[in-house]
Structure 1
Amino acid sequence: MMSWPKERKAESRKKILESAARLFTAYGYERISIGDVMKDAGKTHGGFYSHFSSKNQLYAEAIQQAAKNSMNQHGDENLDQVFTNYLSMEHVKLDKASCPLAFLSTDVATKEKAIRDVYTHTFTGFADLIGRSQRIDSQEKSYAISALLIGGVAIARALSNDTLAQAVLNSCQKICHQLSSIEEDSI
């Protein structure tokens, strides 16, 4: 009998985190209130503090949740497929799980150190995943490719011209492929 409330509380917390991950990546910290998140999750505002101590805690955990969701959507063993999935207009237009690295970079830059630390940890995890490919032979390339992926989506999202946005994504994809090609001299 005692496990039902714990399971229910865990399910409620998960729903709140999923809503927060989606809403924060789409609209940022300032435009989303605790009430917005709770309403989206189908919960009452009053129940928030039984799960989180503050909006900042929710935001930090939502960044991690959004990163997991994005990796499930965009991650792939095939690096070329990662480039295609991540650098897509579907990703830019929020049709796929949104990566908090691309969608929250400027939002996070103004937040407290604890939130920037979560973002930093998320970035290094992302770069490490890129670096696991046998085609990536240095941390420098892993960071550069990660920055191209994240920056390409962030810039394309900000542009009002879809043709230009697609050109930016295509350019980033081309350079990612070039950076990830193992040259004959290095074999």
Structure 2
Amino acid sequence: MRVTREKALENREQTIETAARLLRKHGFDGIGVADIMKAAGLTHGGFYRNFASKDELAVKASEHAIADTIALLKEGLAQQPEDPFRTLIERYVSSAHRDDLSSGCILPALAADAARREDPALRAIFTTAIQFYLEQIAQLSSMPPRSTDGRHPAAILSEMVGAVILSRVIAHAPLAESLMAAVVADIAGPLPANKSAEK
């Protein structure tokens, strides 16, 4: 039976969305096209009607992943307008982000993989993601009641990403939690007394 154009587009988006989850969880080389298509509920044969290669899918999936992350981040910041900088740091350097491999930021999940690939389109996506975070950090860290003592946004972002990566490989849960708490305090400062009491 011939697939309609609308259904073909729906299948393509379903494949991209599924790949965005699975590639973040398993890495670019940790899962094959057949498994991605199976998880999407589609046939392997349909893949090549939509994508020239797995590399093309990796690019589209990475675009989808960072767009999702940006949307979630903006939604979270809007809910905590009194100190959006701390909200950014606490949401990023958190056990929820650490544990949710399939829907977290692509930087701790896939940057090391992307660095091994000679794919300009893929690197451009990661560059866009990095630039977005740098702009957000620069903007939010300059808003009251913030003060980062002149720390460069690139240093802050590197500490955030590094904390998530390291916390994911630590076998001892209390150590992972203390590492993340130390990084949040280092970047955003200690919680005000009233906020500490609430927690």
Shorter-chain TM-score bucket reads 0.7 to 0.9
Q: Residues 118 and 41 from structure 1, CA distance in 2 versus in 1: closer, same or farther, beyond 3 angstroms?
A: same
Q: Deviations over 1:8-50 (max 9, x none)?
A: 2222111111111111111101111011111111111111112
Q: Is the 8 A contact 1:130 1:142 kept in 2?
A: yes
Q: Secondary structure at the match of 1:37?
A: helix
Equivalent position to 1:85, from 91, 99, 107: 91
Q: Secondary structure at the match of 2:4?
A: helix
Q: Is the 8 A contact 2:94 2:180 kept in 1?
A: yes
1:128 matches 2:135: yes
Q: Deviations over 1:132-162 (max 9, x none)?
A: 2233899962212211211111111121111
Q: Secondary structure at the match of 1:108?
A: helix
1:110 matches 2:140: no
Q: Residues 96 and 86 from structure 1, CA distance in 2 versus in 1: closer, same or farther, beyond 3 angstroms?
A: farther
Q: Secondary structure at the match of 1:101?
A: helix
Q: Is the 8 A contact 1:152 1:169 kept in 2?
A: yes
Letter in 1 for 2:92: Y
TM-score for both structures, normalised by structure 2: 0.78
Q: CA deviation at 1:82?
A: 1.5
TM-score for both structures, normalised by structure 1: 0.83
User: More deviation in 88-97 or 35-44?
Assistant: 88-97
CA–CA distance in 1 between the matches of 2:58 and 2:102? Answer: 20
Task: Map 1:101-180 onto structure 2 (within 5 A).
Answer: 101-114=107-120, 115-133=122-140, 134-135=142-143, 141-178=152-189
Q: Is the 8 A contact 2:114 2:123 kept in 1?
A: yes
- Matched residue pairs, number? 175
Please say which structure displays the higher CA radius of gyration.
2
Please tell me the root mean square deviation across aligned C-alpha atoms, in Å: 2.4
Alignment match, 1:94: 100
CA–CA distance in 1 between the matches of 2:90 and 2:56? Answer: 33
User: More deviation in 20-29 or 131-140?
Assistant: 131-140
Letter in 2 for 1:104: L
CA–CA distance in 2 between the matches of 1:163 and 1:137? Answer: 29
Q: Which runs of 4+ in 1 moved over 6 A?
A: 136-140
CA–CA distance in 2 between the matches of 1:113 and 1:140? Answer: 32
Runs of 5+ consecutive residues of structure 1 not aligned to the other structure: 179-187
Q: Residues 58 and 137 from structure 1, CA distance in 2 versus in 1: closer, same or farther, beyond 3 angstroms?
A: farther
Q: Deviations over 1:102-148 (max 9, x none)?
A: 11122112111322232222211222222222338999622122112
Identity %: 26
Letter in 2 for 1:110: R
Alignment match, 2:37: 38
